[in-house]
Amino acid sequence: MIETVFKPEIKKQAEAIMARYETKRASILEILRLVQESCGYVSTEAEEAVAELLEIPAIDVHEVVTFYTLFYRKPKCKTRLNVCRTLTCALAGGDRILDHLEKKHGLRPGEAREDGSVSLQTVECLGACEIAPMMQLNDSEYIGPLTPEKIDQVLERK
Amino acid sequence: MEKLISKYFVTGKTFGMDEYLADGGYEAARKAFEGFDPKGLIEEVKKSNLRGLGGAGFPAGMKWSFIPQNTGKPVYLVVNADEGEPGTFKDKYILNHVPHLLIEGMIIAAYANQVHKAYVYIRGEYVGPHRTLVRAVEEAYAKGFLGKDIFGKGYALDIVVHRGAGAYICGEETGLLESLEGKKGFPRLKPPFPAVVGLFNCPTVINNVETLSYLRFILERGADWFSKLGSEKNGGMRLFSVSGHVKKPGVYELPLGIPLKDIIYDHADGIRDDRKLKAVVPGGLSAAILTPDEIEVGMDFDQLRAKKTMAGSAGVIVMDETTCMLKALLVTMRFYAHESCGQCSPCREGTSWVYRILKRISKGRGRSQDIKNLLDICSFMGGTTICALADGAAMPLRSYPEKFKEEFEHHIQNGKCDSPDCPIAEDLVTA
Ligand SMILES: Cc1cc2nc3c(=O)[nH]c(=O)nc-3n(C[C@H](O)[C@H](O)[C@H](O)COP(=O)(O)O)c2cc1C
Ligand code: SF4
Ligand code: FES
C-alpha cells in the first residue's frame, strides 16, 4: 500500500525531506504536504502509508491530519476561496463580501458546489490585514482589498 | 526618521544575495565571529535592550543567557515565523523583501548560543514568503555562509525551513515545538522552559523573525546606539502593523515608546473619512483595547503594561466611531473559541461560553446579568491555564465591557445595535 502513495519519485523526495530532521516523525507536516500535492488530498489510505513510512501508529498520523486546517481529507475543488473573517477584515466589510458570495453566487461558508468547481471557507487572520478584506485563493495567492466586483472576476477566471 | 529593516521594504522587490551583499550584508555576522566570543556577544545583545518582538517582550540577551552549555546535548535555534496574532503582518514583509536579514541574524544568534542546527517554523499559508526564504537559504549555502565551515571560520550551521499547517496555537512557543516534533500543537506545561528542555528535549532558543532581524544593526552600530533609539529598557525600533479604519494601513518602523497617537495620526494618516476614533487594539488581538483619551501612551512593553494592556506583536487595529463594540468583541471572541486547543477546561469552556453569550446578545436576546457573567468568566479564564492563549482572550474580553459599559447595557436593553453604520454585519453570516 505504501507503494501506491509513495511512488518511486515521490518516495525519493520524501526521503530527502526526512533526512533533514532529527526524527522521522518530525518531518510529518512536510511529508503530508508532499502527499497532498501528489494525490490532491490525504486519504485514509495515505495516512496509513505515511504511518508506515515514518514508523508511527496510523492513529497518530490521523490526529495530526485532523488537528491542522491545511490538510484536505477529501478531493478538493478546483477553485477554493478562503475568506478571512477576523477583526480587521470584519471592520473592512468582510461580511458584505460573504453576503455577496451567498446572494450572487450561492456559496455559503463551509460549502462547495456540487460539481466540485468552487468551495468557500472562512478562515482566521491570514496576516494580510493591510489589504482587508481579503482572501486566499487556491491555498496560495492573497487577494485584497476585496470588492464584490473582484469576487465576480475571480469566479469568472476559472 | 531613519529606517533599519524597513528600508528594504520596496514594493514588489526582494533583495537577493548580491544586492544584500552590496549593501553591507553579512558583514555583521562576520564581525560577530571576529570581534566577540559567544559570552561577549550575549552581553552585547543584553546591553542593546533588544526585546522579544513576537509578543512577550522578553529581553533577548537575557533569554540567551539561560541556555545551559554543559549538558552534552546540542542546542537548537528555532525561529518563530508563524505570525498568527490577528492584526500582525510584519514578519511577512521581512520574509518577502529581505530574507537574508533574518538569515544573518540567525547566524549571529547561533554563534552566541553555540547552535549548529536551526529551524524556521513558517506559517503554512505564507506560500510566497516560504518560497523566498527557501531560495535565500540556498543562496547562503552556495556562498558558504551556511554549511560545514561558515565564513571559513570552522563553524557549522544548518538551517531547515519548516512549514506549519494552519493552527494559531502553533505560534505559542511550546505548541510550536510539539508541532515541529511532528505532533499536534498542544502547548507544554512550563517549567521546564524551552531554554532548558526544548526541541527534542534539548536546550532551545526561540525567537521571532523580527527580533533576530535587528541583530545585524546592533552588531554594525553598537548596543548603546541601538538601546538609545528606544525608550527605557526597550531598545531600538520595531515594526508596527497598522490596520483597520486608518487612511494608510501598512507596516511602520518606529522607535519603541512612540506615542500611539503619532502612529495613528502622523504615520497612518488618521482615520478614514476623517471620522472620530472610537477604540484601538494596540498590540495584536490579544491586547486590551484603548480609548481615545488613552492614546498618548508610549508604545513600549512597560508603558502599555502600566495601562493594563500590552505591546504584544505591535499589531495596531483602529476602530472608528461607526464600530459596534459588541460585534467587535463577538468577532474577537469567535477567534479564541475557534483557536483554543482544548487542553485546559477554563480556556476551552470559557472561550466558547463567552462566544455563545455574545452571540445571543447580538441576536437581541441579551439578559441583564450578561455583563457580570462575562466579567466573571474572564476572572476564571486567565492565569489558570497551560499557555497564555486564555490570558490573551481574557484581556480584550474584560476591556470591552469595562470601557464601553453603557453601549453594552444599551445593546442588551434595546435588543439591537446602536451603530447603524457598523461595518460588521447585523446577522453575522458566519456566526
Ligand atoms: C497563543 C500564542 C500565540 C503566539 N503566536 C506567536 C506568533 O505567531 N509569532 C511569534 O513570534 N510569537 C508568538 N507567540 C509568542 C511566543 O510564544 C514566544 O514568546 C516568541 O516566539 C518568543 O520570541 P521573541 O522572544 O523573539 O519574541 C505566541 C504566544 C501565544 C501565547
Ligand atoms: S490555555 Fe487554551 S490554548 Fe493554551 S493550552 Fe490551555 S486550552 Fe490550549
Ligand atoms: S484580519 Fe483578515 S487578514 Fe488579518
pLDDT tens-digit series, residues B306-361 = 999 999 999 999 999 999 999 999 999 999 999 999 999 999 999 999 999 999 99
State the average pLDDT over residues B46-70. 98
How many residues can be counted in chain B?
Answer: 431
**Percent of chain B at pLDDT exceeding 70:** 99
pLDDT band, very low/low/confident/very high, at A23 (cuts 50, 70, 90): very high
**Cα-Cα end-to-end distance for chain A:** 35
State the average pLDDT over residues B371-380. 96
A83 touches ligand 3 (CB under 6 Å): no
pLDDT tens-digit series, residues B164-191 = 999 999 999 999 999 999 999 999 999 9
Nearest to A130 among B124, B249, B430 (CB): B249
Quote the pLDDT of residue B382: 79
Q: Is the pLDDT of residue B429 over 70?
A: no
Nearest residue of A to residue B321 by CA position? Answer: A91
State the average pLDDT over residues B27-32. 98
**Percent of chain B at pLDDT exceeding 90:** 95
Q: Considering just the CA atoms, what is the radius of gyration of chain B in Å?
A: 22
Establish if B312 touches chain A: CB-CB under 8 angstroms: no
What is the phi/psi pair of residue B320, to 5°?
-95, 180
pLDDT tens-digit series, residues A40-81 = 999 999 999 999 999 999 999 999 999 999 999 999 999 999
B138, B177 Cβ separation under 8 angstroms: no
B428, B328 Cβ separation under 8 angstroms: no
Average pLDDT of chain A is 96
Q: How far is the CA of A97 from the centre of ligand 3 (A)?
A: 14
A134 touches ligand 3 (CB under 6 Å): yes
Give the span between the Cα atoms of B111 and B123, in whole angstroms.
26
Taking contacts as CB-CB distances below 8 angstroms, the residues of chain A near B285 are 86-87, 125
pLDDT tens-digit series, residues B103-137 = 999 999 999 999 999 999 999 999 999 999 999 99
CA distances from A8 to A3, A15, A39, A47, A49 (A): 8, 10, 14, 18, 14
Where does B119-273 have alpha helices with state H?
127-142, 173-180, 209-213, 215-221, 223-229, 260-262
Give the span between the Cα atoms of B173 and B207, in whole angstroms.
9
Taking contacts as CB-CB distances below 8 angstroms, the residues of chain B near A92 are 244, 423
> Are A87 and B87 in contact (CB < 8 Å)?
yes
Quote the pLDDT of residue B431: 43
User: Over the range B106-127, which residues count as b (16 or more CB within 10 Å of their CB) and which as e?
Assistant: bbbbbbbbebebbbbbbbbbbb
pLDDT band, very low/low/confident/very high, at B35 (cuts 50, 70, 90): very high
pLDDT band, very low/low/confident/very high, at A158 (cuts 50, 70, 90): low
> Are B200 and A136 in contact (CB < 8 Å)?
no
Nearest residue of A to residue B83 by CA position? Answer: A127
CA distances from A54 to A1, A3, A17, A29, B334 (A): 14, 14, 12, 11, 36
- The vertex-B299 CA angle with B294 and B301, nearest 5°, equals 115
Average pLDDT of chain B is 96
Q: Is the pLDDT of residue B33 over 90?
A: yes
**Closest by Cα among B184, B20, B10 to B103:** B20
Quote the pLDDT of residue A133: 98
List Cβ neighbours of A58 (8 Å cut-off, separation of 6 or more): A47, A48, A51
Q: How far is the CA of A95 from the centre of ligand 3 (A)?
A: 13
pLDDT tens-digit series, residues B378-411 = 999 977 899 999 999 999 999 999 999 999 999 9
State the average pLDDT over residues A96-105. 96
DSSP structure string for B342-378: SSSHHHHHHHHHHHHHHHHHHTT---TTHHHHHHHHH
State the average pLDDT over residues B43-47. 98
Q: How far is the CA of B316 from the centre of ligand 3 (A)?
A: 12
Taking contacts as CB-CB distances below 8 angstroms, the residues of chain A near B327 are 90
**Percent of chain A at pLDDT exceeding 90:** 96
Q: Is the pLDDT of residue B1 over 90?
A: no
State the average pLDDT over residues B203-211. 98
> Are A124 and B339 in contact (CB < 8 Å)?
yes
ipTM over 0.95: yes
A41, A76 Cβ separation under 8 angstroms: yes
CA atoms within 13 A on the CB side of B100: 24
Q: Which ligand is the nearest neighbour of the Cα of B186?
A: 2
C-alpha cell at B345: 477546561
Q: Considering just the CA atoms, what is the radius of gyration of chain A in Å?
A: 18
Which of A95, A97, A102, A143 has the highest number of chain B CBs within 10 A, making it the mutation to test binding with B?
Answer: A95
**Ligand 3 atom at shortest distance from the alpha carbon of A128:** 3
pLDDT tens-digit series, residues B248-273 = 999 999 999 999 999 999 999 999 99
Could you count the other beta carbons within 10 Å of the beta carbon of residue B154?
9
